[in-house]
Amino acid sequence: MDTRKIIDKIIEKSEASIEDIVKILISQQDSYLFEQADKIRKEYCGDEIHLRAIIEFSNYCRCDCLYCGINRQNLHLKRYRMNLDEIIEYAKKAYKAGYKTIVLQSGEDTWYTREKISYIIKKIKKLGNIAITLSIGERDFDDYKQWKIDGADRFLLKHETSDEKLYNSLHPHSTFKNRIKCLKWLKKLKYQTGSGFMIGLPGQTLNTIAKDILLLKELDVDMAGIGPFIPHPATKLKSYPIGDSKLTLKALAITRIFLKRPHLPTTTSLEVTDIKDRENAFYTGANVIMRKVEPYKYRKLYEIYPNPNIKEKTIEEEKKEIENYIKIMGRKVSTQRGDAIDK
Ligand code: SAM
């Protein structure tokens, strides 16, 4: 079957095999794929792009992820923790600037106990009609449960790679099984759940990417972050090449035609090599963008990978800039919270 037919079949039946996906990933003809992904994005998500404010509140981390610049073995990195009221203050600023979602992200930092996170959630929810997304890694079921009761709406926890052996070698502190267990808990607790993976991890094959996309389907995700791996100079993977941006866009487009409804962000890692790739993602299925809103002194220390595009701007300047950019693309800035799209 030629790839055009495979694409049509995936769209019609929402079914795909590893072989189908690999064939599309290999094919040099990607314009039909991108066109269809854009069409389905329009059909399911409309022309609105959702802006999410992200507060990276701590770069302390108990994990050893081999690819990540804030892993605990990086002794050169200056560590920071925002205090609880400082986090709430910046959430308030973002809300005032018009953001409808606050993403609270950090390394796995257990200084922020269940109670501390509860306090932050409850205070932010009092600001108004605002969604909270947590992205703070693996925790106990009872932690996740309490934060849902407190008002957290969504949780992002990428599966990073569907290859169990590769996952376990890249994450010596944990296991693939535990990651998946946490993702299933989050779904069970009725969080709008996000997963995702990296393109270009050393040891990854096209088969792995196909399985990554199938795993997103199996987990029935509401959001998925797909971005290239960027080598960080202070990590064990520093000499490996950067993930391929074209392959990233294709994985994103296949996810859109196959799963249809999830919110798909254009990831910051896509803008590292070429700012244009961030824009391209909006034509291949993406409908979300996140902007950092914590103070610049912290932004530059939350260096999971080197990103020369981090500039000192106010929350308002940053928001204006992104809104103009969305308008120039002929799309609209959403005024809604951008919750999960129902089946
Ligand atoms: N600790 C939380 C967790 O594990 O979900 C959230 C923070 S973690 C730093 C956020 C994401 O950064 C990870 O899910 C991973 O995909 C991404 N990331 C880390 N290092 C990266 C790298 N070198 N290149 C691309 N993405 C990276």
Can you read off the two tokens belonging to residue 334?
A: 């959403």
The contacts of residue 35 (CB under 8 Å, 6+ apart) are none
Q: Which amino acid is at 63?
A: C
CA dihedral of 66, 67, 71, 75, whole degrees rounded to 10: 90
Question: Does residue 285 have its Cβ closer than 6 Å to ligand 1?
Answer: no
Rounded to whole angstroms, the Cα distance separating 117 from 81 reads 13
Give the chain's mean pLDDT: 96
Question: Does residue 170 have its Cβ closer than 6 Å to ligand 1?
Answer: no
Q: Is the pLDDT of residue 111 over 90?
A: yes
CA 267 and chain centroid, separation: 6
Give a three-class secondary structure readout of 266-297. CCCCHHHHCHHHHHHHCCCCCCEEEEECCCHH
CA 69 and chain centroid, separation: 17
Question: Does residue 200 have its Cβ closer than 6 Å to ligand 1?
Answer: no
The contacts of residue 123 (CB under 8 Å, 6+ apart) are 84, 88, 91
Question: Does residue 67 have its Cβ closer than 6 Å to ligand 1?
Answer: yes
For residue 278, what pLDDT is reported?
A: 84
Say if residues 243 and 228 touch (Cβ distance below 8 Å).
yes
pLDDT confidence tier of residue 272, bands split at 50, 70 and 90: confident
pLDDT confidence tier of residue 15, bands split at 50, 70 and 90: very high
Output the residue whose Cα is nearest ligand 1's atom 12.
304
For the segment 88-106, the average pLDDT, to the nearest whole number, is 97
Partner residues linked to 196 by β-bridges = 225
Can you read off the two tokens belonging to residue 44?
A: 């399911």
Nearest of 133, 142, 141, 80 to residue 107 by alpha carbon: 80
Question: Does residue 232 have its Cβ closer than 6 Å to ligand 1?
Answer: yes
Q: What does the angle CA 163 – CA 168 – CA 173 come to, to the nearest 5 degrees?
A: 150
Helix residue ranges per DSSP H, 27-133:
31-45, 84-96, 114-125
Nearest of 55, 54, 66, 57 to residue 232 by alpha carbon: 66
For residue 308, what pLDDT is reported?
A: 83
pLDDT tens for 175-213 read: 999 999 999 999 999 999 999 999 999 999 999 999 999
Say if residues 240 and 219 touch (Cβ distance below 8 Å).
no
For residue 311, what pLDDT is reported?
A: 83
Specify whether the backbone of 273 is left (phi greater than 0), alpha (psi in -120 to 50) or beta: alpha
Q: How many CA atoms lie within 13 A of 339 on its CB side?
A: 10
Instruction: Spell 240-270 as b/e; 16+ CB within 10 A means b.
Output: beebebebbbbbbbbbbbbbbbbbbbbbbbb
Q: Is the pLDDT of residue 249 over 90?
A: yes
| DSSP codes, 139-184 | --HHHHHHHHHHT--EEE---B-S-HHHHHHH-TTS-HHHHHHHHH
Can you read off the two tokens belonging to residue 221?
A: 């995700």
Atom of ligand 1 nearest to the CA of 70: 9
Determine the residue of 68, 106, 247, 269 to mutate for testing ligand 1's pocket, defined as the one with the most ligand atoms within 8 A of the Cβ atom: 68
Question: Does residue 304 have its Cβ closer than 6 Å to ligand 1?
Answer: yes
Measured in degrees and rounded to the nearest 5, phi and psi for residue 271 equal -90, -5
Rounded to whole angstroms, the Cα distance separating 21 from 27 reads 10
pLDDT tens for 132-146 read: 999 999 999 999 999
Atom of ligand 1 nearest to the CA of 156: 5
